[in-house]
Amino acid sequence: MLKLRKPELFRQQAYLDGQWCNADSGATFEVTNPATGEVLGHVPEMGAAETRRAILAAQTAWATWRRKTAKERSAILRKWNDLMLAHTDDLAAIMTAEQGKPLAESKGEIAYAASFIEWFAEEGKRVNGDTLQSPANDKRLLVVKEPIGVCAAITPWNFPAAMITRKAGPALAAGCTMVLKPAESTPFSALALAVLAEEAGVPAGVFSVLTGDARAIGGELTANPIVRKLSFTGSTEVGRLLMAQSAPSIKKLSLELGGNAPFIVFDDADLDEAVAGAIASKYRNAGQTCVCANRLYVQDGVYDAFAAKLVKAVQALKVGAGTEPGVEQGPLIDGAAVEKIESHIADAVAKGGKVLTGGKRHALGHTFFEPTVVANASADMLVAREETFGPLAPLFRFKTDAEVVQMANDTEFGLASYFYSRDIARIWRVAEALEYGMVGINTGLISNEVAPFGGVKQSGLGREGSSYGIDDYVVVKYLCMGGL
Ligand code: ADP
């Protein structure tokens, strides 16, 4: 079992209105370790009734939380950040146990997750309004920004800590309260964050964490008119559903949905850099991020050289349990994830794809999968249209800039994109032509707390992180003072 320096961080209860509690029914569900198949623990199977209580508690807590000064809220958030950093080893151990990613990546995620709390603790102090030039002499016009109110958050399993803090950071800093439902497979990271929030002095009801039935909890979070805003990170399919469910009560929405990231290597690229970027972008978290390269487009003249270098680098990746030193790729999250990558590879091979390395389940068993490269990829393959969310790099060949831009944009998604080139004119041309919310130029890693993360098209709405990120949690109020 997990050995932690602070065992209290591993909680098997939900956190509602400042209380650690079970489901009304007493029901629980189990959470397993994907590297071993072992049961890690159990959490409450909550539903609509508990969600209603958490929302009411968030409404009550909002009245006092919003009246604290930004500086007071900032001090509490700052402490939460410090506690997360101080307990990095324990938080990373919990994350690797439930999610599977290598310990080094889990530690990196805790630093990344804490950075959102730190950033928004500072940014919350700068939610300033405006005075406007009045068209009439007897009037003065002002704009103030206010917290939107009770917020709901639904988060995925691929970044069990950072997807939470990226929402809770700006919400709490702006003076909002939040009810969170983490993913079923990674609730322990969320509950550990709640332990530290409580310790940092986040008041009861300001941040509640409910585990359980996604439909029942999601149904209440979207239907309840007290909830003014929903922030969701997950699949486009579920995002669309939550958007529809939020329509009757006209909630403000932030949606971080699926991607289908193109990764383009032009013939003037530094190929070694491009390979390093492709490894980071494609195989990090075993390919299970919404900004992972999904389609690798390589220009004709460098296709074979790039493929050879990439295969060599992929074959050097160490696969194993995330707790083992030096491991670079852990297991996939579950059996369905393995079936998806298998189906993408089988479809590609049936349509002329050639497996250059990997291609099957790993000898380690469970949900381990071989890091894979497939050449001769084409637009009619499943992998061209759908996110694999696994360690599969399909290589598409292209000839001209116009052709690759057209292929890169030929998707309903528009989250991250990447390209490698050293030609400044081409860099500007392509960066402007890509219909994506984010463009990595000569880098495979783009996420950090100071940059706006988000997509266009069916990849979502709103931006997280950065000075833009707090806008999603405030409303603009206009004051018109007449009779002067
Ligand atoms: P993924 O493919 O990454 O698991 P999902 O969109 O299925 O993406 O899940 C992301 C989050 O959405 C998880 O917390 C999951 O429990 C939640 N979720 C899934 N279905 C629903 C639903 N019908 N209503 C509310 N939340 C849901």
Burial 348-376 (b: 16+ CB within 10 A, else e): beebebebbbbbeebeeebbbbbbbbbbb
Q: Is the CB of 154 under 6 A from ligand 1?
A: yes
Q: Does 272 lie in the same domain as 248?
A: no
Q: What is the pLDDT of residues 448-466, one digit of tens each?
A: 999 999 999 999 999 999 9
Atom of ligand 1 nearest to the CA of 184: 16
- pLDDT above 80: residue 158: yes
C-alpha 116 – ligand 1 centre gap (Å): 22
- pLDDT above 80: residue 269: yes
Q: What is the pLDDT of residues 43-91, one digit of tens each?
A: 999 999 999 999 999 999 999 999 999 999 999 999 999 999 999 999 9
Q: Which of 224, 232, 238 to mutate to test the pocket of ligand 1 (most atoms within 8 A of CB)?
A: 238
Tokens of 227: 């909830």
pLDDT at 22: 98
Would you list the DSSP string of 183-231?
-TT-HHHHHHHHHHHHHHTPPTTTEEE--B-HHHHHHHHHH-TTEEEEE
Q: Which domain CATH number covers 402?
A: 3.40.309.10
Is residue 38 classed as helix, strand or coil in its secondary structure? coil
Tokens of 93: 């151990």
C-alpha 239 – ligand 1 centre gap (Å): 8
Q: Is the CB of 156 under 6 A from ligand 1?
A: yes
205 in Cβ contact with 58 (< 8 Å): yes
C-alpha 193 – ligand 1 centre gap (Å): 20
For strand 293-299 and strand 227-233, is the pairing parallel, antiparallel, or unpaired? unpaired
Q: Does 214 lie in the same domain as 175?
A: yes
Q: Does 154 lie in the same domain as 51?
A: yes
Q: Does 471 lie in the same domain as 349?
A: no
C-alpha 65 – ligand 1 centre gap (Å): 29
Q: Does 290 lie in the same domain as 176?
A: no
Domain count, the chain: 2
pLDDT at 1: 72
Percent of the chain with pLDDT over 70: 100
C-alpha 138 – ligand 1 centre gap (Å): 53
Is residue 138 classed as helix, strand or coil in its secondary structure? coil
Q: Is the CB of 333 under 6 A from ligand 1?
A: no
30 is catalytic: no
Does residue 149 sit within a domain?
Answer: yes
Q: Is the CB of 235 under 6 A from ligand 1?
A: yes
Does residue 133 sit within a domain?
Answer: yes
Q: What is the pLDDT of residues 106-130, one digit of tens each?
A: 999 999 999 999 999 999 999 999 9
CA-closest residue to ligand 1 atom 25: 218
Q: Does 82 lie in the same domain as 68?
A: yes
The amino acid at residue 109 is E
Q: Is the CB of 234 under 6 A from ligand 1?
A: yes
CA-closest residue to ligand 1 atom 27: 214
Q: How far apart (Å, rounded) are the C-alpha atoms in residues 165 and 264?
A: 31
Reported confidence tier of residue 307, pLDDT bands at 50, 70, 90 = very high
Does residue 451 sit within a domain?
Answer: no
Does residue 484 sit within a domain?
Answer: no
Q: Which domain CATH number covers 93?
A: 3.40.605.10
Q: Measure Cα distances from 427 to 100, 295, 434, 446, 453 in Å.
A: 36, 19, 11, 16, 21
Would you list the DSSP string of 167-180?
HHHHHHHHT-EEEE
Quote the domain boundaries for residue 301: 261-441
Q: Measure Cα distances from 429 to 95, 337, 439 in Å.
A: 41, 36, 12
Strands (E), 22-111: 28-32, 39-44
- Reported as type and span, the H/E element at residue 254 is strand 252-256
- Reported as type and span, the H/E element at residue 372 is strand 372-377
- HSE at residue 190, side-chain half, CA atoms within 13 A, is 34
Report the chain's mean pLDDT, rounded to a whole number.
98
pLDDT at 16: 98
Q: Does 160 lie in the same domain as 29?
A: yes
Does residue 410 sit within a domain?
Answer: yes
Q: Does 44 lie in the same domain as 151?
A: yes
Q: Does 117 lie in the same domain as 228?
A: yes
CA-closest residue to ligand 1 atom 14: 183
Q: How far apart (Å, rounded) are the C-alpha atoms in residues 328 and 145?
A: 45
pTM of the model: 0.98
The single residue of 109, 256, 328, 387 carrying the catalytic annotation is 256
Q: Does 422 lie in the same domain as 344?
A: yes
Does residue 483 sit within a domain?
Answer: no
Q: Does 212 lie in the same domain as 337?
A: no
Atom of ligand 1 nearest to the CA of 238: 6
245 in Cβ contact with 215 (< 8 Å): no
C-alpha 241 – ligand 1 centre gap (Å): 10
Q: Is the CB of 161 under 6 A from ligand 1?
A: no
Is residue 346 classed as helix, strand or coil in its secondary structure? helix
Predicted-complex ipTM score: 0.98
Does residue 416 sit within a domain?
Answer: yes
Does residue 452 sit within a domain?
Answer: no
Q: Does 269 lie in the same domain as 250?
A: no
